[in-house]
Amino acid sequence: MAQVNIRIDGRPIEVEDGSFVLQAAEKLGVEIPTLCYYKYVTPYAACRLCVVEARDQRGRTRVVTSCNYPASEGLEILTHTPRPVAARRTNLEMLMSRCAPLPVLEDLARKLGMGAPRWGHGTDTCILCGLCVRVCDEVVGAQAIGFASRGIARTVTTPFEIDAEACILCGACAAVCPTGHIRMEEPGGREVIHREITLGPNAAITVPFRQAVPNAPRIDPEYCVHFRTGGCKVCAKVCPKECIDHADEGCTEEIEAGAVILATGFQDLDPAPLKQYGYGKLPNVITSMEFERMNNAAGSTDGKIQLESGGEPRAIAILHCIGSRDEKHHPYCSRVCCMYALKFAHLVKEKTAAEVYQLYIDLRAFGKGYEEFFQRILTEGVNVIRGKGAEIVPAPHSRRDEGPLLVRCEDTLAGRFREIPVDMVILCTALEAQKDAKETGRKFGVSVGADGWFIERHPKLGPVSTTTDGVFLAGACQGPKDIPDAVAQGGAAAGQAMSLIIRGEVEMDAACAVIDDAVCSGCRLCNDLCSYGAVSFDAEKKVSIVNAALCKACGTCIAGCPSGAIRGLHFTDGQIYAEIEGILS
């Protein structure tokens, strides 16, 4: 496209022919006030605050809206001459008199040296700039809102003023609304959980956490508008290096490997179904992972332990065994909770003046230095109560000096029922096997136990290997594990995998099937029985042959051979008959 030269307040700039004056002013850093302009939607000239004086080559002067006035060769723009400034003031005054006092309008008025509008304030908060409508249409592509009625009745609304099915609740309209007229609200009571309030919103494109590897933003397709409507892609437009490619999706790669280490880890139990704890309903009831996030210096609160309201908690209860050691959920002990719960107590004491209550069934401080740490916690003034937290309820008559949540429990050492008022509750949720562990296990020939954890070859003698050669286990996918144990097992798995690979050759099991050529009738029954394709037919000799490298010695072909021509080394028919004879003699 052709370039044209224009001047803004006397400063020359070369821009594309037909591009808008406001964009050129932005490039030059010339400030022109506007409320309805957004770079990624078609300019609409609704607020009329961006008026400027334009003088064309023939010397004609007009007052125009700069957001949608096209640049042409020799165009001269004056932004702060008396004519546009007067027009701007009048336009702003009219907006102000239509609306209730709005901070954004008041600020602009102050900048333009104006006082209260001559015609007094109205009550509206919408300036009908249509930015929301254009964003919903052009960027999001949902077309859920539009203008309705005319004249003084004109408003922005959904079709027929009923809940728009087309709305995807992306919040783009609320984000661009210059006056705050549009807000996001959760209908029907409180559903927004703590995570979104203090732990940062679930942004569609974020760096997952500060130490993430690779340390790059990623798009969450669940929240990304583009993946829901096909529109938007604003992130790609703003990225100066053009790094964002929405078409770049996860793909499957085939890797040839000599050994596999399964380290698929655990998942956190979702405490929402345990209604007695009110997770997701009561404010400031959080899981241990959420507390960790808050406590992290790189987290959204910069490591500050705070309530949803932003205040500092005065009392915190830490409830152990949520879903662990519980017949209704997981009978096993999650192993790590006792110690991290004690760590939490220590950190809370270090960072705040809050009272801390630990509610436990049994304290399992089993590792090196763990018991000592527990003793140290006791000296730090943590209230350690033996008794599982039974229920969390909102305090019926909350006193100002007490927390609004009541933790109910039976203090089994004191032998009485207690209700402890606190500001915050941390639920130490159970470690669970990944919900697709069984599927994953099947892919690798590893079976899972009743709790969903992968089963090792032998609980004592083969805690890292599995029943499938070359597949090893590391970490919590095999069972709840703390960091030192997971690191130790990971190291062992890596060592075993290396020793397997480095040798460059695989030791075969001595057991395998062999076919006696003299007896084989060449019926080929065994060829189809083999799951590994180890038995094939030798067309020349007219007998079946076993490829010893492929044979896994399962013996299915041996049992199926009608002529008894196949021998399973180490499990020959003779040996098994002898066993039968022996155990029945």
In degrees and rounded to multiples of 5, residue 549 shows phi and psi of -70, -30
* Choice from 3, 155, 521, 531 touching other proteins (CB under 8 A): 531
Distance CA 378, CA 412 (A): 18
In the structure encoding, which two tokens stand for residue 541, read together?
């000799």
Nearer Cβ to other proteins, position 63 or 514? 514
Query: Is position 327 an interface residue for other proteins (rule: CB under 8 A)?
Result: no
Nearer to other proteins by C-beta: 110 or 443?
Answer: 443
The single residue among 532, 535, 538, 549 that binds other proteins, judged by CB under 8 A, is 532
Q: Which amino acid is at 384?
A: V
Distance CA(514)–CA(517), nearest Å, equals 9
DSSP 136: I
Q: Which stretch binds other proteins (CB under 8 A): 88-96, 190-198, 251-259, 556-564?
A: 556-564
Size of the site for other proteins (CB under 8 A): 37
What's the token pair of residue 237?
A: 């437009």
Q: Considering only residues 119, 209, 417, 577, which one is a binding residue for other proteins as defined by CB under 8 A?
A: 577
Segment contacting other proteins by CB under 8 A, of 54-62, 226-234, 289-297, 576-584: 576-584
Residues 430-469 that bind other proteins (CB under 8 A): 442, 445, 447-450, 455, 459, 467-468
Smallest distance, other proteins to C-beta of residue 407, A: 36
Residues 534-553 that bind other proteins (CB under 8 A): 552-553
**Least separation in angstroms between CB 148 and other proteins:** 59
By C-beta, is 25 or 433 nearer to other proteins? 433
Per the CB < 8 A criterion, the answer to whether 339 and 360 are in contact is no
Binds other proteins (CB under 8 A): choice among 148, 347, 361, 511: 511
Q: How far apart are the first and last CA of the chain?
A: 99
Minimum CB distance to other proteins, residue 446 (Å): 10
Q: Is 523 in the site for other proteins (CB under 8 A)?
A: no
What are the C-alpha distances in Å from 550 to residues 176, 544, 547, 573? 64, 14, 6, 21
Separation CA 284–CA 274 (nearest Å): 16
Q: Which is nearer to other proteins, 281 or 552 (CB)?
A: 552
Strand-pair category, 51-55 with 3-8: unpaired
Q: Does 574 interact with other proteins (rule: CB under 8 A)?
A: yes
Beta bridge partners, 391, equal 408
Q: Report CA Rg, the chain.
A: 36
3-state class of 392 per DSSP? Answer: strand
Q: For residues 327-348, b (16+ Cβ closer than 10 Å) or e, as one string? A: eebbebbbbbbbbbbbebbbbb
Nearer to other proteins, 73 or 451 (CB): 451
Q: Are 409 and 302 in contact (CB under 8 A)?
A: no
Find the shortest distance in angstroms from Cβ 403 to other proteins: 44
Binding residues (CB under 8 A) for other proteins: these are: 442, 445, 447-450, 455, 459, 467-468, 511, 529, 531-532, 552-556, 558-560, 564, 567-568, 571-577, 579-581, 583-584
